[in-house]
Amino acid sequence: MSTPSGIAALKHLDLDGHDLPPSPAPSSPSNGRKYALATELVYTDSGDQYNASSVPIYQSATFKGGPGQEYDYTRSGNPTRTALERHMAKIMNANRALVVSSGMGACDVITRILKPGDEVVTGDDLYGGTNRLLTYLKTHGGITVKHVDTTKLDIVKAALSAKTTMVLLETPTNPLIKIVDISGISSAAHEASPECIVAVDNTMMSPYLQNPLDLGADVTYESGTKYLSGHHDLMAGIIGINRAELGERFYFMINSTGCGLAPFDSWLLLRGVKTLAVRMEKQQTNAMAIANFLESRGFKVRYPGLKSHSQYALHDSQARGAGAVLSFETGSVALSERIVESTKLFGISVSFGCVNSLISMPCRMSHASIDPATRKERSLPEDIIRLCVGIEDLTDLVDDLSQALVRAGAVRLTGDSFVALDAEDVEGQTGRTTQVVDEP
Ligand SMILES: *Cc1c(COP(=O)(O)O)cnc(C)c1O
């Protein structure tokens, strides 16, 4: 792609020597200010030959021509995928973004640079799929994996050494909503071992609310299946990096294994991410109100937007919002089951980040593959209910939840207000059944 010489000063080459869209160019000329994220999300300059408003889908495996041309084979590169990668790099405050077929695909690409004998320090409350992959690498790849309580900086520091090759973090965790100090751990890891790669799973926050690279991490990655897409209609994984050499190593893996995101899914994600700001704002506002509603009814609620969260200040210092996932405990597994089965708007489903509100019991669903003893060890309450709040009307959501609480016997309606009952008080009745679903 050629760049008119007039804007040469704004030219921003990526590591392959491709021109990035002149971002944040159009916002710069008058006052040098960068566009706000909500604007960057919808602003794209694809450089399309016909100035198409929507980036075209290059549904082609091959591109004709001789050596040296920009695209030849879609496993190695595709114009629709490139458009998405350039757009995402801008959104993630990264020099380079790479998109692959799922969030776990991204985690695989990142951990593939590990060699036998390498040491990974990570959390004890990880996403189930991440835990499964690390366990595989430990068993079959000769990698040492140290699971520690990453909410405690001194415990992480004690686990770090010159041998630490990678630190893999997730914050907030789910469903326990534990917060990890990205900046503190990144500094400590680089101090212990300058070559150490700090990778952060940013799925729960999305780049709209948190930018791990700005906090000192070397790699940020996330499942595009969640907030970035927002509609549960595709699977994708995104990796963001600033260090050129790391980008090259990850690209090598993607080209070698063929996990780059397909053109159609790249297009869908380009479309979905445009509404990230409005979706996240609305979901977060709803989540905050629901967290307050449940807390005021006497439930133990975990949500980083609540002042009662023990790590409220830490989360607030590294993120621009609390997100839209919260969890609460009822004191009884049977009662929780009845609540989950009694909601109508909150659909029973694994995953989160979709425009629809979802409800689940992690111990029965997403975390069912973790054996009960380990769940207990990790203090994962068996009765915990996770809510992933969508963009529906808040009154309808609160109403749905209130009715479920009443039907389940968790609260009693007296006049206009709800009174929390003891868990054992009431027999419930259910219309739906809780599925036992293995970790996807
Ligand atoms: C969903 C999820 C993943 C995996 O993403 P997929 O797109 O489902 O492969 C990784 N980490 C977290 C925190 C997730 O929620």
pLDDT above 50 for 224: yes
Q: Can you tell me the distance from the alpha carbon of 435 to that of 360, in angstroms, rounded to the nearest whole number?
A: 10
Ligand 1 neighbourhood includes 103 CB (under 6 angstroms)? yes
- % of the chain exceeding 90 in pLDDT: 73
Q: Can you tell me the distance from the alpha carbon of 48 to that of 56, in angstroms, rounded to the nearest whole number?
A: 8
Q: What architecture does CATH give domain 277-438?
A: Alpha-Beta Complex (3.90)
Using pLDDT thresholds of 50, 70 and 90, give the confidence band for residue 47: confident
Would you state the pLDDT for residue 378?
74
Pairing mode of beta strands 119-123, 164-170: parallel
Ligand 1 atom at minimum distance from 352 CA: 15
329, 333, 337, 342 alpha-carbon torsion, rounded to 10°? -50
Element (H, E) at 341: helix 333-342
Residue 400 annotated as catalytic: no
Ligand 1 neighbourhood includes 223 CB (under 6 angstroms)? yes
CA dihedral over 69, 74, 76, 78, signed as positive or negative: positive
Residue with the bigger pLDDT between 367 and 31: it is 367
pLDDT above 90 for 131: yes
Mutate to test the pocket of ligand 1, among 100, 202, 203, 350 (most ligand atoms within 8 A of CB): 203
Q: What is the pLDDT of residues 252-277, one digit of tens each?
A: 999 999 999 999 999 999 999 999 99
pLDDT above 50 for 375: yes
The residue extents of the domains of the chain are 1-85+240-274, 103-224, 277-438
Would you state the pLDDT for residue 379?
79
What six digits make up the tokens of 161?
A: 């050494």
Residue 376 annotated as catalytic: no
Ligand 1 neighbourhood includes 102 CB (under 6 angstroms)? yes
- % of the chain exceeding 70 in pLDDT: 85
pLDDT above 60 for 222: yes
- Least confident piece of the model among 252-261, 310-319, 349-358, 392-401: 349-358
When pLDDT is averaged across residues 53-61 and rounded to a whole number, the result is: 94
Would you state the pLDDT for residue 419?
57
Q: What is the pLDDT of residues 101-119, one digit of tens each?
A: 999 999 999 999 999 999 9
263, 212, 161, 244 alpha-carbon torsion, rounded to 10°? 50
Ligand 1 neighbourhood includes 237 CB (under 6 angstroms)? yes
Q: What does each C-alpha distance from 45 to 55, 79, 228, 365, 429 come to in angstroms? A: 9, 13, 19, 42, 55
Query: Cis ω on the peptide bond leading into residue 24 (within 30° of 0)?
Result: yes
Please name the residue whose Cα sits nearest to atom 15 of ligand 1. Answer: 203
- Least confident piece of the model among 29-43, 141-155, 161-175, 392-406: 29-43
pLDDT above 70 for 20: no
Q: Can you tell me the distance from the alpha carbon of 54 to that of 45, in angstroms, rounded to the nearest whole number?
A: 10
Q: Can you tell me the distance from the alpha carbon of 118 to that of 144, in angstroms, rounded to the nearest whole number?
A: 6
Q: Residue 162: what residue type?
A: A
Would you state the pLDDT for residue 51?
86
Ligand 1 neighbourhood includes 21 CB (under 6 angstroms)? no
Residue with the bigger pLDDT between 415 and 334: it is 334
Q: Can you tell me the distance from the alpha carbon of 381 to that of 394, in angstroms, rounded to the nearest whole number?
A: 27
- Least confident piece of the model among 219-223, 377-381, 422-426: 422-426
CATH number of 103-224: 3.40.640.10
Which one from 108, 118, 181, 201 is the annotated catalytic residue? 201
Q: How far is the CA of 231 from the centre of ligand 1 (A)?
A: 15
Q: Please spell the DSSP secondary structure of 238-286, one letter per residue.
A: EEEES-HHHHHHHHHHHHHHT-BPPHHHHHHHHHHHTTHHHHHHHHHHH
Task: Return the biggest CA–CA distance within the chain.
Answer: 77
